[in-house]
Structure 1
Amino acid sequence: MRLALIAPPWNSLYRPSIQIATLAALADHSPGDTVTPVYGYLDWSQYAVENLGWEPTEFITVYDTIGEELYGLGVGDWIFGGPGQRVGAGAEAPDSRTAVAEERTCVTYAAFLREKGVAENLVRQVLALRAIAPAFVSGFADRLLALDAEMYGFTTSFSQLVPALAVAQALKARAPERLIVLGGANCDRPMGQAVMAAYPFVDAVVQGEGEAAVTALRKARDTADLAAVPGLALRRDGEILVSLPVVQSAASAPVPRYEEYFERLRDLPWAELITPHVALPFQMSRGCWWGEKLQCTFCGENGSGMIYRSKPGRQLTETLRELTEKHGVFDTYAVDTILARRDNGLAALAAAEVDVTTFFEVKANLGPREVGEMRAAGVTVVQPGIESLSSGALKLLRKGATAYHNLRFLILCRELGIDAHWNLLSAMPMETPQMLEEQLALLPFITHLAPPSTVSKVRVDRYSPYFENPDEFRIVLHGPEPKYRFIHTDPALDRTALAYSFDHAETDERADAEEMLVLRRRLGARVGLWKKLHDQSRFAYRFGPDLTVLHDHRPHVGTGRHLLRGAADRLFRELVHGGRVDQAVERVVQMTDRPEAELRAELRAWGKKGWVHFEARRGLVLATRDSMRDELGRAADLGAAGLDHDAAAQPPVEAGAGGARA
């Protein structure tokens, strides 16, 4: 069957959809009918700018905010659920009654957004986007029909479900014989079957990974061939027939085909605002090796695909070389849930000596060697699963790391120029006042490290241990989050089956509830101050021969410039990037003959000043190294390269000789 694959809003404008591009690439490697990828979110962007009269930069800012920050409020879905495209029993032509109902809906939803802290100007922009969405859906459906596909497949994750449903319903109204298929995170089991039960114009959903399903769909000659498609839930004779999905190897996924994205991007009148910032998504693994061992309590990200599978590490360089050479884009973006522990390909990528930059999600207990290897390979942005700076809270969350690991990771990122994007969670089940108080005490001493992007309450998402076993965590589920009543408006729908995120409460009434609320508010305020102070905060050291110079210019707690000599210098160096306190003290005693009691008193003083973080029997220097070695090493390389004619008669220098490369 001829297949059109559509990526609806609100996929990032700066990234082609890896979902439809990977499936489209199958057509380049296997027999079957054609696959046409359609980047509907670029169509929507052009339409919105032209019909609202906004400056493109204004629209891009609003689009990014809706897609990246407001998905938790259902904004992107709500924009596409208006009159004339109200998904459900069937679209109705707008009349005076629907106009009144729409006005009431907009007033109610606007009040909901204001209650959640959304700025008034942004609320007005959201309402303006909803007003033009029906006309866009109508025109976009006409464009899709002109492709003459037999089947239209929509990828859906986060805020893409209702935009996909709106366009799908418009297609079905125009051409009932065309087949509508949905896939993606919003259609994983059992949500996919719930979507089909709620929206009868959806003919099928792909549950789980899509490569095997799309391969079979392309070979199908008619609807009779669809019943055996792997992972397909199919509507037939009033029933939903379900075929079990296939768990595939990561290596079975081809390199994504992004040509159609760049062709559509070039036609965008303001493409120059997007093109310089494009990052090419790629995938090296699926599932989560940590989740296989001990799933984080709040994480439902992998759904039914938790089993970890990874491509051979050598394919990293091969994949990035193919993508960057083909498209001339050197910024890349790994969509993996977690970086592979072994055979991740970073060493080979570093050895390739290309100026490719990339992003990975990582576990935060990586040490200096691993983080250094990442930076050498061009990893400049990471999303570490930090979540908390309390070891007790991290144990509750099953993170497999401690505050010590998380702080060390942030220190290493600061030293190596890696941008760490992370979130701070609170209000997890069984959280104690002590967990919040120890973080409040710590934060003033780490304003020089990257602050969290957000501070938020822990959520209960489908597929997470919280959702699957609420009794184990002493919580009770109170149904879907409030946003779903605005997303799925028909009260007859089973919102519980359609929802991904759920309201919850602890089963035991807490005697310290008021205290916990005050502490959480203080934590949020303290992080806000951290963000304000970060750019002016400096806590760094430089090594000399038998001397350490420490610059402590952290706002409100800094103690200025210090010179550490002799035993103090040695003790400080022992705890750079972390070390066991007893062993550090013992080594320094042996080297300097300084009494152990004096060294331990020194450590206690450093702890009070926030120079060293102590956890169990370990100590970690919180300052970051400011050695300039990387820059000087690069300058030395460039200087040597610049001696062309003068040095031509000289014999070549062996690699690494003379210490030119740091």
Structure 2
Amino acid sequence: MTSDRAMAIVWMPFAEVRVPSIQLGVLAGLVREAGWDAETFHFNLDLAARIPRIYDEFSHYNEGLLGEWLFAETAFGPAPPGQSDLYLDNVARDPVTRQKDSAIREYLLYLQQVTIPEFIEGCLESVEWERFDVVGFSSVYQQNVAALALARRLKARCPNLIVVFGGANVQGEMGAAYLEAFPFIDHICTGEAELCVKPLLHCIAAGKDPLNVPGIATRTETGAILESAPLTIRSLTGEPLPEYDEYFARHRALKISTGIELPIETSRGCWWGEKSHCTFCGLNGNDMQFRTKPVEIVIKELKHLSQRHGVYAFKATDNIMPRQHVDALFPHLRDAPYRFFFEVKSNLNLAQLGVLRDGGVRWIQPGIESLSTEILRLIGKGSSKLHNVRLLKWARWLGIKVSWNLLHGVPGETAAMYEDQTELLRFLGHLEPPEGYARIRMDRFSPLFQSRDGPSVEWWRPWEAYSAIYPPALDLERAAYFFDYEAPETLPDSHHVQMFERVSSWQASWANEPPVLELSRRGRQTVVVDSRFGSSERELPLDADSIRLLEACEDIQTLESVRDVADPGRIAALLEAGLLVQDRALLLSLVLPDTATARFTKDTLFT
């Protein structure tokens, strides 16, 4: 250490193993700019090394907040009699049959009562915590209880160690609720940490209370909780380059076998959310303002990080890709070795997707959510049924992986909106299936949550799992992020059985070789090759006018614009065969162009 002040920054389970924490990487640089020494600790890797076969499943499994429950006894002590039994009755089930599974139950109890306490003890004993003045925990998703468990033990061992929490789990009023409930926490950053870390450390070094530091909730000597409103970062140009050396050293030392993807931030906020906040979206907290990082800085970071670590797969943390990247960033990366994941808006066309593919994008999350234009309007997506189908179509042709979901439970929905989707799903087997079909959640900060006391919501309460995890001292209405609710203008779950079945069949059809639907040139004849409805391919010979119509509708077209290509009867025949899809006066061909004409070859995304 080179300074007389030092801060430890900790990343706990169940954070993803493959990706180092960009929060820790940036914060370490900010702490050093404040004149302090900084060390990061990716303890999530330590637990992954203990339970390598299942850690990844826990990091992606949100049902019942299982990752949080596993740490609950270590953090808060034994649960009241019978509480764990009730909790496990709900979560210890076979993932396929949903029947209670005693083996899963016993394994979860072993993890909670043996593996997790040993892990926390290992975190305590592996570091000389007395060297540090401050320990900071960055907490997102299912990291909260693990962080609380270690923080409590650290405070008991080192009473003078100042404990600070930050991250999405303690944004806004959630932060003050946690501070009130857990006296071993000294300060909580309730907004964007870049603006408060250095002022907070300056106050600590000077022995002053950080009462006026923006975005800090703090406990005074009298025990009162005081908080200052957070500020918003206006520019993303001043951040230090993220530091990941400790992650890579720990990854090697523990012999973690997963591949690695480097996080990179090119923007913050949501440009679409500034116009229309999607009904269910709780991301960005209370600040939707969209800010972009200059292209030259992005390119500099990509070069620095890839050369330093020998990794060329990047996972963008952006909530939505900046529109200008299509013209301003990716053309500069055409010959670069990078591969990217980005969240995007679903109205990208073939030319735009082609630029992304040329620039290294191999995986996107487009926020499709529905294949009904009416439902998309109800939830404020700013897209349509044909926009979403078009994106799936061209992503399949270009070899871009698509992660997406279908949602139901939208206030104002009707049965007809799902009947149309159920019928459409019959014809989309050649396109990448959704990862699931689920009811819309009520998340804190979402418009649905903000209107929870209005007529569109009958009742609401924090997820039941919270009360099985946290002690009564925590005010769950202020601390919870996920909520159960009932909306009167929605269809019962029983209405969605057929959609569930269609989605499951679609997913199963992609377990091996995905189905195809494409034009194929056979000498002078063009046929449609179709394997959507069985294991064997069918060749559908079409006349020249039908081929011309399909080619004319490769992108979305109006009925009027194709009147000179095909008569209404021909259009109706192709709609019935599932080769065209219609949305009001618009048409789109579902048939992919001949794969021999594709400009791109499929390659592996991220290992």
Aligned to 2:248, which of 262, 281, 288?
262
Tell me the residue number matched to 2:605. none
Matched, 1:251 2:218: no
Do the aligned partners of residues 303 and 530 (structure 1) sit closer, same or farther apart at CA in structure 2, a change above 3 Å counting? same
Percent of aligned positions with the same letter in both sequences? 32
Contact 1:338–1:362 (8 Å) recurs in 2 = yes
Contact 1:362–1:385 (8 Å) recurs in 2 = yes
Query: Which amino acid is the alignment partner of residue 320 of structure 1?
Result: L
Aligned to 2:433, which of 451, 459, 471?
451
TM-superposition CA deviations, 1:63-90 (whole Å, max 9, x none): 1111102x231111111111xx343xxx
Query: Which amino acid is the alignment partner of residue 63 of structure 2?
Result: G
Contact 1:574–1:584 (8 Å) recurs in 2 = yes
| Aligned positions of 1:107-506 closer than 5 A | 107-114=85-92, 117=98, 120=101, 121-132=103-114, 133-146=116-129, 148-220=131-203, 221-224=205-208, 226-237=210-221, 238-248=223-233, 249-268=235-254, 270-271=255-256, 273-274=257-258, 277-343=259-325, 345-351=328-334, 353-470=335-452, 474-488=456-470, 490-506=471-487
Contact 1:317–1:348 (8 Å) recurs in 2 = no
Which stretch shows the higher mean deviation, 431-440 or 338-347? Answer: 338-347
Tell me the residue number matched to 1:524. 500
Do the aligned partners of residues 261 and 168 (structure 1) sit closer, same or farther apart at CA in structure 2, a change above 3 Å counting? same
Partners of 1:18 and 1:584 lie apart in 2 by: 50
Do the aligned partners of residues 435 and 632 (structure 1) sit closer, same or farther apart at CA in structure 2, a change above 3 Å counting? closer
Which stretch shows the higher mean deviation, 133-142 or 379-388? Answer: 133-142
TM-score, normalisation: structure 2:
0.91
Query: Which amino acid is the alignment partner of residue 316 of structure 1?
Result: V
Contact 1:437–1:519 (8 Å) recurs in 2 = no
Do the aligned partners of residues 564 and 154 (structure 1) sit closer, same or farther apart at CA in structure 2, a change above 3 Å counting? same
Aligned to 2:553, which of 560, 566, 575?
575
Do the aligned partners of residues 40 and 118 (structure 1) sit closer, same or farther apart at CA in structure 2, a change above 3 Å counting? farther
Q: Match of 2:87, SS?
A: helix
Partners of 1:543 and 1:583 lie apart in 2 by: 26
Do the aligned partners of residues 480 and 521 (structure 1) sit closer, same or farther apart at CA in structure 2, a change above 3 Å counting? same
Contact 2:170–2:188 (8 Å) recurs in 1 = yes
Contact 1:312–1:343 (8 Å) recurs in 2 = no
Contact 1:32–1:215 (8 Å) recurs in 2 = no
TM-superposition CA deviations, 1:379-435 (whole Å, max 9, x none): 101111000111111111111111100000000110000000101111122221111
- Residue 154 of structure 1 deviates from its aligned partner by 0.2
Partners of 1:288 and 1:402 lie apart in 2 by: 19
Contact 2:369–2:405 (8 Å) recurs in 1 = yes
Do the aligned partners of residues 583 and 331 (structure 1) sit closer, same or farther apart at CA in structure 2, a change above 3 Å counting? same
Contact 1:32–1:219 (8 Å) recurs in 2 = no
Aligned to 2:58, which of 66, 70, 76?
66
Partners of 1:239 and 1:454 lie apart in 2 by: 45
Contact 2:267–2:318 (8 Å) recurs in 1 = yes
- Residue 31 of structure 1 deviates from its aligned partner by 4.2
- Residue 547 of structure 1 deviates from its aligned partner by 5.5
Contact 2:75–2:152 (8 Å) recurs in 1 = no
Tell me the residue number matched to 2:578. 610
Matched, 1:39 2:42: yes
Unaligned stretches of 5+ in structure 2? 603-607
Partners of 1:223 and 1:630 lie apart in 2 by: 65
Root-mean-square deviation (CA, aligned residues, Å) is 2.4
Contact 2:87–2:465 (8 Å) recurs in 1 = no
Structure with greater Cα Rg: 1
Do the aligned partners of residues 279 and 552 (structure 1) sit closer, same or farther apart at CA in structure 2, a change above 3 Å counting? same
Contact 2:398–2:601 (8 Å) recurs in 1 = no
Contact 2:75–2:150 (8 Å) recurs in 1 = no
TM-superposition CA deviations, 1:335-374 (whole Å, max 9, x none): 10000012464333433x1221110001111111111111
- Residue 45 of structure 1 deviates from its aligned partner by 2.8
Query: Which amino acid is the alignment partner of residue 142 of structure 2?
Result: S
Query: Which amino acid is the alignment partner of residue 366 of structure 2?
Result: P
Partners of 2:600 and 2:322 lie apart in 1 by: 32
Unaligned stretches of 5+ in structure 1? 50-58, 92-97, 589-595, 635-662
Tell me the residue number matched to 1:20. 24
Partners of 1:563 and 1:633 lie apart in 2 by: 27
- Larger RCO, structure (CA 8 Å, separation 6 or more): 2
TM-score, normalisation: structure 1:
0.84
Do the aligned partners of residues 259 and 529 (structure 1) sit closer, same or farther apart at CA in structure 2, a change above 3 Å counting? same
Do the aligned partners of residues 473 and 333 (structure 1) sit closer, same or farther apart at CA in structure 2, a change above 3 Å counting? farther
TM-superposition CA deviations, 1:271-297 (whole Å, max 9, x none): 3x12xx110001001110111111000
Partners of 2:521 and 2:324 lie apart in 1 by: 33
Q: Which structure has more helix as a fraction of its residues?
A: 1
Do the aligned partners of residues 401 and 472 (structure 1) sit closer, same or farther apart at CA in structure 2, a change above 3 Å counting? farther
TM-superposition CA deviations, 1:311-334 (whole Å, max 9, x none): 122333222111111100111100
Contact 2:315–2:342 (8 Å) recurs in 1 = yes
Do the aligned partners of residues 617 and 297 (structure 1) sit closer, same or farther apart at CA in structure 2, a change above 3 Å counting? same
Which stretch shows the higher mean deviation, 258-267 or 618-627? Answer: 618-627
TM-superposition CA deviations, 1:480-527 (whole Å, max 9, x none): 011111221x2343111111111111246x7xx5xx433312111110
Q: Match of 1:614, SS?
A: strand
TM-superposition CA deviations, 1:421-463 (whole Å, max 9, x none): 1011111222211111111111111011111111111110110
Partners of 1:420 and 1:404 lie apart in 2 by: 16
TM-superposition CA deviations, 1:249-272 (whole Å, max 9, x none): 22233331111100111110x33x
- Residue 122 of structure 1 deviates from its aligned partner by 4.0
Partners of 1:350 and 1:582 lie apart in 2 by: 40
Tell me the residue number matched to 1:79. 70
Query: Which amino acid is the alignment partner of residue 283 of structure 2?
Result: E
Contact 1:314–1:348 (8 Å) recurs in 2 = no
Partners of 1:633 and 1:10 lie apart in 2 by: 35
Q: Match of 1:4, SS?
A: strand
TM-superposition CA deviations, 1:143-165 (whole Å, max 9, x none): 34436110110011111111111
Query: Which amino acid is the alignment partner of residue 532 of structure 1?
Result: A
- Residue 104 of structure 1 deviates from its aligned partner by 3.7
Partners of 1:225 and 1:349 lie apart in 2 by: 48
- Residue 309 of structure 1 deviates from its aligned partner by 0.5
- Residue 186 of structure 1 deviates from its aligned partner by 0.7
Query: Which amino acid is the alignment partner of residue 19 of structure 1?
Result: Q
Q: Match of 1:456, SS?
A: strand
Partners of 2:536 and 2:445 lie apart in 1 by: 45
Tell me the residue number matched to 1:647. none
Partners of 1:380 and 1:372 lie apart in 2 by: 11
Query: Which amino acid is the alignment partner of residue 618 of structure 1?
Result: L
- Residue 571 of structure 1 deviates from its aligned partner by 1.8
Which stretch shows the higher mean deviation, 279-288 or 301-310? Answer: 301-310
